Chain A
């Protein structure tokens, strides 16, 4: 009887989590991604629609200051090296409010991009509207978009791989596995993964 009760409790818990989860804001895989116009570190505005030849994008919400973003910085640069020639370049977006984290100010972003020779745009989401629309909660937080006609559809959401501390100890490259499927024109077998990251520093209301 007791067992039955706890089983029932578990079911209820699972159900309530499920209901809440479907109601959560932000993109799910399959959603159309909104285009944006955000300022790049070179001062120019960047949109998804700019590159007519793009097959898609690897959109990364990241920043200068989060230890996890730093741990993944080289891997993000490597993703661009690998996938940009195949039509999916990286677009990095910094959503943090510089009033909360001065290290994420535009000038600091410019400095970082120059130092590390980013070969991709590093955009500032000043109003934080794009991060909110995508449903990004942390840095780094990745979204793979693929082109469907004039639109871009969210094809993968989540982590780069399974070991933030040490790239050499990675066993599963979640994002690269998804890219293999996506580039073959198939839905990603694993299209959504979780990772720890720094909470996005939202503007104080």
Chain B
């Protein structure tokens, strides 16, 4: 049993560095499915883009959060809103260069008016936009702003209370 655990852990460890370089391209229904899991994990979902300067500036804070809360039921998901045409040219090289460890997906949707309200009605459309959600505890908080590291940490601590 413990052998199995070690194996599983090893597999996980091996999988982690590789995963950082992958960027899954998803459509809205898949994102919605991901964000509606009825479990007790707190998701920190950050909408960003490689062209968005304040987004790029705050990304390390989300990475830091991922490290700080590793092993806890907290998961950072970075949702790139870059055009899918920029996936190979911009997004993947960016993710590799920064060595991002949080999961990165690219939301491949063209008309924000058709999908934005389905993500969150609070979002007016400015980037960066961040949601914290925990479906089991029926909690949700949204932030249409750029975070500093202390602000982000404080927001999450408040959310987890």
Contacts and interface: CB of A to CB of B under 8 A. Distances in A.
Interface of A: 6, 9, 12-13, 16-18, 20-21, 24, 67, 137-138, 141, 158-159, 162-165, 169, 171-172, 174, 193-200
Interface stretch (B19-27, B61-69, B95-103, B114-122): B114-122
Interface in B115-148: 116-117, 120-128, 135, 138, 140, 144-146
Contacts of A21: 121-122
Interface of B: 38, 49, 51-52, 54, 81, 83, 85, 110-114, 116-117, 120-128, 135, 138, 140, 144-146
A198 B127 contact: yes
Contacts, number: 76
B51 A138 contact: no
A123 B51 CA distance: 25
Contact of B110 (A6, A9, A141, A163): A163
Nearest to A12: B138
A198 B126 contact: yes
A68 to B, nearest CB: 8
A194 B112 CA distance: 6
Contacts of A12: 138
20 contacts: A6-B38, A9-B135, A9-B138, A17-B122, A21-B121, A21-B122, A137-B126, A163-B110, A164-B110, A171-B111, A174-B113, A194-B112, A194-B116, A194-B117, A196-B112, A196-B126, A198-B52, A199-B127, A199-B145, A200-B126
